[in-house]
Structure 1
């Protein structure tokens, strides 16, 4: 038998179906999976005899499920800090020409740095929506998958796409769009190469045409058919701005959700990023079909796009998770900060009961796992699930006197991570990455960013 790991004496916030919490408890990990969670200190049993048992003194800590990021654009780590005071469409118009110069090396450096920082903020599972594939750029999706394996996080890579350039009424410049046949062929290749449907998977694949204003209806329909034929999930941006809603009305004579329904893009295998401007009928449709939403409060606020109706979505039964979105519109890219911002923005418009501290942690963990279709394996601390665990130190100056540990996590500053486990393997220890050198990630990112910006003429 392999090593048994015991996190002993910590406060345990399980996010199981009963939302059980233990003021003093323990979590037992055997191999890749959790085998026991309970109240009180760990008591060795007969099956500990003759095996290697490592007990971690976690009395100064809070154990939660690893956080789950449901929307990101990792390549944007190379373009942070640009167009800081722009609307979404202005921001995209500024940055598309820069992103048109990304390549495999840039993408790998950006993804490794981004995933490393996400791990440092308690994230054990991230997805990525990569939709910019310049001609001659190399294997960009493969570069991201390699970065995820190096850092050690669980990863849902979505093969994004754009086939509606500016000359045909779309927003992106023509040189960053692809032909539909090329997109579909690349989507099949991505699934064949990277998708692992097994319960212990660390990498899965989805399909993610970019948005209603950058893809054709044919691409949406054919991507949906391909994804469902291969058993993978579907993702896109939707209802992020009032401009997008106006675009859908003018071009299709429909609301964004009505348009998605018309191209077969509703169901429990679909989730939409942002969803800021869903009206009551749209929310009811999402709830009825089981379609999920990736709520991105920090990015939405940074771009001035609005505040998603998180309380109304949750009350209706819509699956809701959190996303940091691309770091070019959320330079902090902290999953724990997203939980706090989700709570604060919901309360700013809906009052102090619009989202509780436990609601905020829920959407960051089991809610996100449900949105990604992974909640049977991750998102909560309970026997049988994969051992994706964040162990937060809360005995320092910033947290030592906060009575409610969940309030300390959500409302307080980000505490240091004593340990972050992904499938039982340490990814962060004592608030430092384990498998990769943070300084090396930083150097590689700075070099990649400088080269990209110089090629685009942003830096002289």
Structure 2
């Protein structure tokens, strides 16, 4: 069996949580087959591939637990750039959704995956909701195909809706809802074709109606949850991203969003939600007691003005925490390095906002203790593996899958660090990859993805964006 030696790393982050070692001295890591075979002071073996990690830091490869890859071609749309969630939905993703044919969908998915890979991410969970009756292409298959080409793990969060909000109802046929029977039938098809239940799976399928509060009925929530669990699939959706979720749940059901989900079978250790920005204490307790997780998306929540999720409180209560980049249409830098950098800062800022002067009863000055770099690394790696049910990944440990990012800190933003291990999270930016491994395969070497022409992708993206804008302008002119 072929082996690879990552040699002489300056620092190794493990992804370990509060009760595990967050760092290892190493300085060497041996990969054998798809897994990590040894860690320590190791000698090269005859014929072994050696990766020189001198002055580099090693992290577990990131696990992104919530994305909308099709939105990669919707970055910086002027109509939605200063809008909060609900008007932004109408202004950007719903307005352009009908513009995505097979070619554009595939291009967006490929560029989005490459953006993530270049940040050191090898597990991508995409909440795809581009589904409608009589679609001329299979968006699910395209996503799995593009992930396989790039050599990364892919989790399809199969979105969709059986009913629409008014803002969707006036839009083109691509917004038409599915039937419950069609949704469940496709879930069964996807599970039989792509789903692998093993702890190091390269392919997974999850039942993920776009938002359980608005996209499906309460009865359908139970039906989908029952069908998914019979198939051995996990559950995912958006929840409590803004106050509109609180208002909607109260107006329609006279309960909080989390209570509503609990009433209809959508809490449990096989469930996680994106966002969870607006929560009260009883909701946090319910999430914790049921093991329901969060995909924390701090950059999108900041960009849309939604707020900062109470991740410190959630983590302290025992809620499984992971990191997601959300869609590029509400996060113009949809990569994991910028996301974890924001997560580190935002929890500190949230805690600091609660500070009061002593004469008003204040007891602390700021919130710098609210999240450590080691904790953020855990959320973005092992934490993500936990909510996805991929317990064999997300850690640097003997026996774990060899999903490993080796970062070069050769950009000036990393010069002068007293602790180089924290550089990728604390300094942000994009540290170059000396190497990136997924399931033991080196998919990036010397910051290059084999077979990927970034200049050609940039030109193709620019052409498609100009065409989509022109189509949108013509459509607006016709309506007026």
Global fold match (TM > 0.5)? yes
**How far apart, in 2, do the equivalents of 1:433 and 1:227 lie?**
36
**How far apart, in 2, do the equivalents of 1:264 and 1:99 lie?**
30
C-alpha contact (below 8 Å) 2:5/2:48 kept by paired residues: yes
Query: What residue number does 2:74 align with?
Result: 79
Query: What residue number does 2:179 align with?
Result: 179
Query: What residue number does 2:122 align with?
Result: 124
1:381 matches 2:379:
no
C-alpha contact (below 8 Å) 1:171/1:213 kept by paired residues: no
> Could you list the per-position Cα deviations for residues 105-150 of structure 1 after superposition, in whole angstroms to 9, with x for gaps in the alignment?
2211111100011000111111000112144341011111111111
Please list every run of 5 or more consecutive structure 2 residues that lacks an aligned counterpart in the other structure. 352-366
Query: What residue number does 1:204 align with?
Result: 204
SS where residue 432 of structure 1 aligns?
coil
**How far apart, in 2, do the equivalents of 1:170 and 1:221 lie?**
24
Query: What residue number does 1:111 align with?
Result: 109
Query: What residue number does 2:453 align with?
Result: 437
**How far apart, in 2, do the equivalents of 1:402 and 1:225 lie?**
51
**How far apart, in 2, do the equivalents of 1:357 and 1:14 lie?**
12
C-alpha contact (below 8 Å) 2:63/2:124 kept by paired residues: yes
> Could you list the per-position Cα deviations for residues 316-352 of structure 1 after superposition, in whole angstroms to 9, with x for gaps in the alignment?
0100011100000001112011111111111112111
Q: How far 1:431 moved relative to its partner?
A: 1.5
Query: What residue number does 2:358 align with?
Result: none
C-alpha contact (below 8 Å) 1:129/1:158 kept by paired residues: yes
- The runs of 4+ residues in structure 1 deviating greater than 6 Å are 169-172
> Could you list the per-position Cα deviations for residues 434-453 of structure 1 after superposition, in whole angstroms to 9, with x for gaps in the alignment?
24332343344334434444
SS where residue 401 of structure 1 aligns?
coil
C-alpha contact (below 8 Å) 2:194/2:204 kept by paired residues: yes
Q: TM-score, normalised by structure 2?
A: 0.89
C-alpha contact (below 8 Å) 1:208/1:236 kept by paired residues: yes
Superposed CA RMSD: 2.0
Query: What residue number does 2:154 align with?
Result: 155
C-alpha contact (below 8 Å) 2:164/2:214 kept by paired residues: no
**How far apart, in 2, do the equivalents of 1:197 and 1:334 lie?**
26
Cα distance change of structure 1 residues 105 and 270 upon mapping to structure 2, 3 Å threshold: same
C-alpha contact (below 8 Å) 2:4/2:48 kept by paired residues: yes
Cα distance change of structure 1 residues 94 and 54 upon mapping to structure 2, 3 Å threshold: same
C-alpha contact (below 8 Å) 1:166/1:174 kept by paired residues: no
**How far apart, in 1, do the equivalents of 2:460 and 2:193 lie?**
26
Q: How far 1:166 moved relative to its partner?
A: 3.3
C-alpha contact (below 8 Å) 2:13/2:374 kept by paired residues: no
C-alpha contact (below 8 Å) 1:417/1:430 kept by paired residues: yes
Please list every run of 5 or more consecutive structure 1 residues that lacks an aligned counterpart in the other structure. none
C-alpha contact (below 8 Å) 1:207/1:235 kept by paired residues: yes
C-alpha contact (below 8 Å) 2:90/2:168 kept by paired residues: no
SS where residue 161 of structure 1 aligns?
coil
Moved more, 137-146 or 92-101: 92-101
Aligned length: 450
